[in-house]
């Protein structure tokens, strides 16, 4: 099947970017120049630029010439959001993602207990205290996410951090549903405290176990709410 014109333009520009011939921060030629260069209509050029923007290779603002950028892990996972939402529309898809999230976060907790610095512990303590002090469900959910993100940041790996953010976004509904099934703020804080204490004690296995217990309880209450 012949490639569409916008695909030809996007592939050519992508090659220029990935080969280093144009660098992050460089401007691309104006739309008119690209139209002349590729003998293409405005809609094909714009579709090509949009495709590159979705890949994280371009940044663009209204009225401004697009600039080259480097794709970040966060952009990559954001690009998956539509696919994941469709996947989560099926119960088996949600269960699979819950399972994947548990394995991932258990590993993050284990690593955090192995490598956390004093500064990491201080940041995690602040996140825990913010979660403990939350006075309403929205704030509690927000600080819950922040606590888990603080654990991911201890890894020092931007892919882990971005994946943690993505998973939290994809599974955010769980917090509201589990609260409806009877999960109290104090119950969750006690579980977070156990994770924190294990990380502070530099006990990887205890941290992993505490995280596993926490996520199993979240999943149990979620399905209780959904199926009741």
Specify the pLDDT at position 72. Answer: 63
Largest CA distance in the chain: 65
Number of Cβ within 10 Å of residue 86's Cβ equals: 10
| Residue 147 neighbours by CB under 8 Å, 6+ apart | 124, 127, 128, 130, 131, 192
The DSSP call for residue 136 is: S
> Among 119, 106, 179, which residue's Cα sits nearest to residue 148?
106
Specify the pLDDT at position 92. Answer: 81
- For residues 42 and 86, state if they share a domain: no
Specify the pLDDT at position 150. Answer: 97
- For residues 142 and 32, state if they share a domain: no
Which one of 14, 39, 71 terminates a domain? 71
- For residues 67 and 88, state if they share a domain: no
Give the rounded percent of residues in the chain with a pLDDT score beyond 90. 40
- For residues 12 and 107, state if they share a domain: no
pLDDT in tens, 180-191: 666 788 999 999
Count of domains for the chain: 2
The residue among 206 and 59 whose pLDDT is bigger is: 206
pLDDT in tens, 84-128: 666 666 778 778 888 988 999 999 999 999 999 999 999 999 999
Give the rounded percent of residues in the chain with a pLDDT score beyond 70. 85
C-beta of residue 110 within 8 angstroms of C-beta of residue 210: no
Residue 119 CA to residue 122 CA, distance in Å, equals 5
Tokens of 107: 């590993």
Q: Does residue 139 register a pLDDT over 80?
A: yes
Of the listed ranges 40-49, 136-145, 163-172, the one predicted with least confidence: 163-172
Specify the pLDDT at position 59. Answer: 78
Q: What CATH number does the domain containing 63 carry? A: 1.10.10.10
- For residues 207 and 94, state if they share a domain: yes
Specify the pLDDT at position 14. Answer: 86
Which one of 71, 93, 115 terminates a domain? 71
Of the listed ranges 19-23, 38-42, 158-162, 173-177, the one predicted with least confidence: 173-177
What is the residue range of 10's domain? 5-71
* Angular region, 67: left φ>0, alpha ψ -120 to 50, beta rest: beta
Q: Does residue 74 register a pLDDT over 70?
A: no
pLDDT in tens, 1-47: 567 888 898 888 888 888 888 888 888 888 889 999 999 999 999 89
Q: Does residue 161 register a pLDDT over 70?
A: yes
Residue 63 CA to residue 178 CA, distance in Å, equals 45
Specify the pLDDT at position 110. Answer: 98
Q: What CATH number does the domain containing 127 carry? A: 1.20.120.530
C-beta of residue 163 within 8 angstroms of C-beta of residue 149: no
SS3 for 57? coil
CB-facing half-sphere around the CA of 107: CA atoms within 13 A: 12
- For residues 136 and 28, state if they share a domain: no
Residue-averaged pLDDT of the chain: 85
Average pLDDT over residues 128-154: 93
């Amino acid at each position: 099947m012949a490639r569409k014109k916008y695909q030809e333009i996007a592939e050519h520009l992508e090659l220029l970017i990935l080969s280093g011939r144009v660098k992050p921060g460089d401007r691309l030629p104006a739309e008119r120049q690209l139209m002349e260069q590729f003998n293409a209509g405005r809609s094909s050029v714009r579709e090509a630029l949009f495709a590159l923007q979705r890949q994280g290779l371009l940044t663009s603002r209204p009225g401004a010439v697009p600039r080259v950028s480097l794709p970040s892990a966060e952009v990559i996972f954001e690009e998956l959001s539509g696919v994941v939402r469709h996947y989560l529309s099926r119960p088996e898809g949600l269960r699979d993602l819950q399972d994947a999230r548990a394995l991932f976060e258990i590993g993050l907790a284990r690593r955090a207990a192995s490598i956390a610095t004093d500064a990491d512990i201080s940041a995690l303590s602040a996140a825990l205290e913010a979660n403990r002090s939350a006075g309403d469900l929205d704030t509690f959910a927000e600080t819950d996410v922040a606590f888990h993100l603080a654990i991911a940041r201890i890894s020092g790996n931007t892919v882990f951090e971005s994946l943690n953010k993505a998973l939290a976004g994809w599974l955010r509904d769980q917090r509201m549903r589990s609260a409806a099934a009877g999960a109290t703020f104090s119950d969750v804080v006690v579980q977070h405290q156990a994770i924190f204490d294990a990380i502070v004690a530099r006990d990887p296995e205890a941290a992993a176990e505490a995280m596993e217990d926490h996520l199993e309880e979240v999943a149990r209450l979620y399905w209780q709410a959904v199926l009741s």
